[in-house]
Amino acid sequence: MAQTLSETTPLEGARKRFASLQTGFAFFDSPGGSQVPDEVGEAVARAMREASANLGAVYETSHRVKAILEEAEAKAARFMGCEPREVIFGANMTTLNFALSRTVARGFSAGDEILVSSLDHDGGVAPWLELARDKDLVVKHIELREDTSFDYQDLEAKLSPRTRVVAFAWASNAIGTVVDAARVSRMAHSVGALAWVDAVHYAAHEPINVREIDADVLICSPYKFCGPHLGMAYGRAAVLETWRPYKARPAPMDPLGRRFATGTPPFELLAGVNATFEYLDSIGGFDVIRPYERALGQRFLDGIAPGGVSLYGLRGMEGRVPTFLINVDGVEASEVALRLAAQRMGVWAHDSWYSLGLYRRLGYEREAVRLGFIHYNTEEEVDRLVAALLRLRPSQ
């Protein structure tokens, strides 16, 4: 009989910390946002009860929000592999990306070029397209290989002295394909361009070290890794120091990352972020999470191997995170999602998955089903999903 969480790892008992996982419903929708452990919600509520204030006052609740923010900067820095002063918080990844891209573009000129990846979520593309309209910039898409992996040769061919930014998703939110971020950063820097990384999907499944990949900007979202809805970014100090931020004039300019905040930080959500990092540490971090999730992904691939389920993108676990785009042969994607929901399993059906440069290349006509595994999923749930998918196939 398939076991659930391994009894030999710190993941044992992790599910008990999620009230949402106690109902018997199996969530395979983590690519769109993860479930949240109870302690994170409790931290948010506690901050609202005990730390409703703003920075700069001399009384206790102001001291508490200051401590929350400083702790969040320190823990986010450790998570991303940078310094606390290089951390920037915002409403969400897309809002941060619009704000920071517009900030850096103060120094751009008509005809300057931005390269974006055809794997990207539109939250990593639209900010540059809007800037191109406003400032007469040129946006070029980096093509994909036939297997949907990133085409580094095409990137090399499109780099030029006019390239100012190479913006790319480290992992595809639609099909799970991973990009060699260090290689792209090196190529961007070879022409003096910034390496601008969308790590929203990657951050839920793999460790991040911005120094190792030599990124200039990296943006992610804690709601993908069991935290609250929030945007979190790294900016290389030497780069941020050259930017003039959009901000209210009396707001402080130090520490460095805070000068790019456009208003009062959401202290209660930052308290939740602090609890999120503590939760991830308590279960062993990515040293434990990564191999477990990859084993779940392989179990799923092995399960659908008999046929009747079409998989889009890479065929194995090499070069991907455990996110899969599929269709059940002969069954509309929306019908698959409805029938799985009736069996208490959560997946989504959609057309583009906000990856407008990708989905028309994949070969499905209208929609596809996206599903993904995260560390709170179990082997038993994967087996249950596979069995349900195979049952949905029309009888031959």
pLDDT score of 249: 85
Per residue in 129-139, pLDDT (tens digit) is 999 999 999 99
What CATH code is carried by the domain that includes residue 66? 3.40.640.10
Q: Mark whether 353 and 264 lie in a shared domain.
A: no
Given 257, 280, 303, the domain boundary residue is 280
- Dist. CA 89–CA 220, nearest whole Å: 10
Q: What is the pLDDT of residues 282-315, one digit of tens each?
A: 999 999 999 999 999 999 999 999 999 999 999 9
Domain end among 223, 251, 280: 280
CA distance 49 to 274: 16
Rounded to the nearest angstrom, the gap between the alpha carbon of residue 59 and the centroid of all alpha carbons in its chain is 37
**Pair (233, 378) in one structural domain:** no
Tell me, yes or no, whether 269 and 318 share the same domain: no
Q: What is the DSSP string of 1-51?
A: ---SS-TTSTTTTGGGG-GGGSSS-EE-BGGG-----HHHHHHHHHHHHH-
25 within a domain of the structure (yes/no): no
pLDDT for 371 equals 98
Question: Phi/psi class of residue 338: alpha, beta or left (left: φ > 0; alpha: ψ in -120 to 50)?
Answer: alpha
| Same-domain check for residues 55 and 122 | yes
> Based on the domain organization, do 296 and 271 belong to the same domain?
no
Residues 125 and 82 in one domain: yes
Kindly state whether residue 271 falls inside one of the protein's structural domains.
yes
> Is the domain of 187 the same as that of 273?
yes
- Same domain assignment for residues 328 and 383: yes
Q: What's the confidence (pLDDT) of residue 246?
A: 94
Q: Is residue 30 situated within a structural domain? A: no
CATH code assigned at 349: 3.90.1150.10
- Would you say residue 234 lies in a domain? yes
Same domain, 328 and 235: no
The model scores a pTM over 0.85: yes
Identify whether 28 is part of a domain: no
- Last residue of a domain, which of 280, 304, 335? 280
Q: Per-residue pLDDT tens for 339-371?
A: 999 999 999 999 999 999 998 889 898 999 999
Alpha-carbon span 195 to 66, nearest angstrom: 31
**Which residues in the chain come in under a pLDDT of 50?**
1-4, 6-8, 396
Residue 181's Cβ-side half-sphere holds a number of Cα atoms within 13 Å equal to 29
Beta-bridge partner residues of 325: 312, 370
* CA–CA separation, 129 and 234 (whole Å): 22
- For residue 268, give the 3-state DSSP assignment: helix
Confidence at residue 9, expressed as pLDDT on a 0 to 100 scale: 58
| Cα–Cα distance, 210 to 212 (Å, whole number) | 5
Q: Is the separation of the CB atoms in 224 and 34 below 8 Å?
A: yes
Are 319 and 365 found together in one domain?
Answer: yes
**Residue indicated by tokens 């910039």:** 137
Task: Give the chain's domain count.
Answer: 2
CA distance 359 to 353: 8
Query: To which H or E segment does residue 366 belong?
Result: none
- Shared domain for 317 and 276, answered yes or no, is no
For residue 119, the enclosing domain spans 41-280
Pairing, β 87-90 against β 231-235: antiparallel
Q: Say if 352 falls within a structural domain.
A: yes
Let me know if residue 29 belongs to a domain: no
Q: How far apart are CA 300 and CA 250, in angstroms?
A: 54
Rounded to whole angstroms, the Cα distance separating 104 from 284 reads 37
Is residue 98 situated within a structural domain?
yes
3-state secondary structure of 390: helix
Nearest in space to 323 (alpha carbons), one of 206, 185, 197, 152: 206
Asked whether the beta carbons of 216 and 184 are under 8 A apart, the reply is: no
The pLDDT of residue 192: 98
Query: Mutual orientation of helices 126-135 and 93-104 as an angle, nearest 10°?
Result: 30
| CA proximity to 219, closest of 236, 242, 243 | 236
- What pLDDT was estimated at residue 274? 98
- Based on the fold, state whether residues 60 and 194 are members of the same structural domain: yes
